[in-house]
Structure 1
Amino acid sequence: MFDYPTLKIIWWLLVGVLLVGFAIMDGHDMGVGTLLPFVGRDDVERRVIINTVGPHWDGNQVWFITGGGAIFAAWPLVYATAFSGFYWAMLLVLWALFFRPVGFDYRSKIANTTWRSVWDWGLFVGGAVPPLIFGVAFGNLLQGVPFQFDAYLVSTYTGSFWQLLNPFALLTGVVSTAMITMQGGSYLAHRTEGIIQARTIRATMGAALVMIMAFVAAGFWLQSIDGYRITSVVNASAMPDPLSKTVVREAGAWMANYSQQPLMWLLPAIGVLGAALTAVLVALRHTLIAFISSSLAIVGVIGTAGASMFPFVMPSSTSLASSLTVWDSVSSHLTLGVMFWATMIFMPMIIVYTSWAYSVMRGKVTAAYIRENDHAAY
């Protein structure tokens, strides 16, 4: 069994892996949904687009569910505070996600133009809104969230939904949305051909360019935002108690980790270069490699956010000592240990069966396939 401090770091890394897995796997079908009304110009083209992700989208939801479950079990204070403070934002995500199962399953059941058009836009909402809200949430984490704990560690959130929609958070929302659209576009370009592929390539290149510009702009802006720093001695082996530490806010604190560990600059570099390479590769029709480079860009972007904030997970803007960190927001040693071994067993199984499913259903989806399977295809 690993010691307690080691498990705390391991679970910080594992939550990051789950978030990256969610953005790569569930993100590409959300990106396809975002592009659906714009890349597909008629019903057959839109059915082609839907059928590139139709067989897999619900299986990819396992990353979303597992990520939420891991945060609940490994970081209970983060889960409780975030889901209560971001309550309306989380509900907005869930309401948007409701369009996906119904849209995929019922969109093509009725041969009615209005019916199908409504569900096409429903799939767009289900694909575009969640990454936007998740990006906005990360933007607010980097600025600090207005919450505080009392002596019984009951959190009180003092902000509002509209306060979440501040300029910096909206910029990080653009980063997230463009990143997921790029991911979906690279996958869609790989699974289609002809005019649909051509339109998708142009959209993917545009999304990659927007992501790069917004990501770089957010990076420069972040340097002017006061970050957080722990000033008291950290006992990594202690049981969770957020109020036992002292924290200060100071200019440039979010950049301190990069000064101490220069190799961390590889993360934002991977984010920018991965997106740039995706645009080039997709233009050259090297779509599979473009999907891989887009996935690396996701690793770079999410890794940059996590590395910048470490060891903070959810800093507080109203009570600095209430800020939640890797050291004081976790479950018990036993819980983290049991979860670790469960993850080591089940995550490889998820990867294996997902890889098998994609290998079985590989290849291009064409208009001819849709016409030949009119009653069976999505």
Structure 2
Amino acid sequence: MFDYETIRLIWWVFIGVVAVAFAVTEGFDFGIGALLPFVGKTDLERRVVINTVGATWEGNQVWLILLGGAVFAIWPPVYATLFSGLYVAMLLVLFALFFRPVGFDYRSKLENPQWRNAWDWGLFVGGAVPPLLLGVLVGNLIVGLPFHLDADLRAFYTGSFWSLLNPFALLCGFIGLATATFHGAIFLQWRTENAIRQRARRAVGLIGPALLAALALALGWVLLGMERPEIIVLPATDGPSNPLAKTVALAAGGWLKHFLAHPWMLAAPALGFGGLGAAYVLGKADSPAAAFLGSALGIGGALSTVGLGLFPFLLISSTDPRSSLTVWDASSSHTTLLLAFWITVVFLPIVLLYTRWVYRVIWGAVTEKQVMQDTHTLY
């Protein structure tokens, strides 16, 4: 039904949508964990904060598993290069995520204040560290990773964990953490009342300007201060995957030229800044439902800006541009892409309908009275 070139492009779009879904849904989970010790002043208030995501955090985290599985199935060289070269960073993300299930499930097992406070800070680590490190990862995807392919297409990563912590990547790490806490604060403002709602509203007012300023700095840095690979010779895009069959050179000002050559792409950064700016204004005005929509659109716009800016590249090599992996030369076979496509067409709508039903059932403000009444069934 779809030729090889088309199905590769379809999967690029689909995995981009999954990345946005993960950032929007798991983003407010991470943000609420990072804000937990600061917006909840008493044990009861912290239980209210935790239970705003208590029924959905596990389901939201599945988007991360789906994203990793999709990359593994669709772009095996990308998966192999990322998870072997960035092994330490990925383990740190995984270890931070370990705090979440045990923190949620064990925090309320004992009434000891020290026990509960310790798990609150565990949930803080599980909420703050992953978006920080994932932001660093996005920054390095833009800058490029030090890897090369040999004649047998084996990837060799020549960097270290510390080399990932370059200035631009750290700025992106701050953006990742700020985006999650901003998004989480708006969600918390939407689903709580009284003092917690007001603290969340103040958090929106504090984080919003810093996030927008950091995004503007990162965008200017990329467009004006970074070289971008440019494909000079590209084999047929419907042919077999062979990254070394192309010729690539670095181009000064290439990022800006790339967007100016396709003006419609400018809609993505406009949506990013417009959505997050509107979310800040609406959050300050105590309209959290509209603010959450703006925040979700802003996150989608920001991630779309990264994806469109990189296209057709998936991984840029900073040491051997020719080894950079693209949509056209890093994919699985045509048969694999088609089989995965039809599996997705059948099962993804079922997952989305179930998710929509869950949120409809549990929706509403979480109150201290509700937590006290259901003290043995809620976190």
Q: TM-score if structure 1 supplies the norm length?
A: 0.98
1:24 corresponds to 2:24: yes
1:7-86 aligned within 5 A: 7-86=7-86
Contact 2:234 2:245 in 1 (8 A): no
In the aligned structure 1, how far is the partner of 2:255 from the partner of 2:312? 10
1:194 corresponds to 2:194: yes
Deviation at 1:256, TM superposition (A): 2.5
In the aligned structure 2, how far is the partner of 1:153 from the partner of 1:179? 37
- Name the counterpart of 1:185: 185
Deviation at 1:238, TM superposition (A): 1.0
Contact 2:16 2:304 in 1 (8 A): yes
Contact 1:257 1:307 in 2 (8 A): no
- Name the counterpart of 1:101: 101
In the aligned structure 1, how far is the partner of 2:285 from the partner of 2:215? 24
Counterpart of 2:236 in structure 1: which amino acid? Answer: N
Counterpart of 2:20 in structure 1: which amino acid? Answer: V
In the aligned structure 1, how far is the partner of 2:347 from the partner of 2:187? 26
Contact 1:228 1:253 in 2 (8 A): yes
- Name the counterpart of 1:230: 231
Residue by residue, what CA displacement relative to the aligned partner does 1:119-143 show, whole Å, maximum 9, x if unpaired? 1111111111111111111111111
- Name the counterpart of 2:118: 118
Helix, strand or coil: the match of 1:27? Answer: helix
Residue by residue, what CA displacement relative to the aligned partner does 1:146-200 show, whole Å, maximum 9, x if unpaired? 0011111111100000000110000011111111111111111111010100000
Residue by residue, what CA displacement relative to the aligned partner does 1:69-115 show, whole Å, maximum 9, x if unpaired? 00000010000001111110000000000000000011111101111
In the aligned structure 1, how far is the partner of 2:250 from the partner of 2:376? 60
Unaligned 5+ segments in structure 1 are none
Contact 1:175 1:214 in 2 (8 A): yes
In the aligned structure 1, how far is the partner of 2:109 from the partner of 2:210? 36
In the aligned structure 1, how far is the partner of 2:22 from the partner of 2:322? 31
- Name the counterpart of 2:219: 219
1:161 corresponds to 2:161: yes
In the aligned structure 2, how far is the partner of 1:234 from the partner of 1:177? 39
Residue by residue, what CA displacement relative to the aligned partner does 1:357-377 show, whole Å, maximum 9, x if unpaired? 011001111111122222221
Helix, strand or coil: the match of 1:58? Answer: helix
In the aligned structure 2, how far is the partner of 1:191 from the partner of 1:234? 52
Helix, strand or coil: the match of 2:228? Answer: strand
Helix, strand or coil: the match of 1:107? Answer: helix
Helix, strand or coil: the match of 1:95? Answer: helix
Contact 1:255 1:308 in 2 (8 A): no
Contact 1:225 1:251 in 2 (8 A): yes
Helix, strand or coil: the match of 1:2? Answer: coil
Runs of 4+ in 1 over 3 A off after TM superposition: none
- Name the counterpart of 1:374: 375
Q: Percent identity?
A: 50
In the aligned structure 2, how far is the partner of 1:6 from the partner of 1:179? 33
Alignment coverage as a number of residue pairs: 378
Helix, strand or coil: the match of 2:109? Answer: coil
1:205 corresponds to 2:205: yes
In the aligned structure 2, how far is the partner of 1:138 from the partner of 1:374? 40
1:316 corresponds to 2:314: no
Deviation at 1:205, TM superposition (A): 2.6
In the aligned structure 2, how far is the partner of 1:52 from the partner of 1:216? 31
1:298-337 aligned within 5 A: 298-337=299-338
Q: CA-atom RMSD, angstroms?
A: 1.0
Deviation at 1:211, TM superposition (A): 1.6
Contact 1:27 1:180 in 2 (8 A): yes
In the aligned structure 1, how far is the partner of 2:343 from the partner of 2:179? 31
1:239-254 aligned within 5 A: 239-254=240-255
Helix, strand or coil: the match of 1:159? Answer: coil
Deviation at 1:207, TM superposition (A): 2.2
Counterpart of 2:107 in structure 1: which amino acid? Answer: R
Residue by residue, what CA displacement relative to the aligned partner does 1:211-252 show, whole Å, maximum 9, x if unpaired? 211111001111211111111133101110011111111211
1:258-337 aligned within 5 A: 258-337=259-338
Bigger shift: residues 230-239 or 357-366: 230-239
Deviation at 1:208, TM superposition (A): 2.1
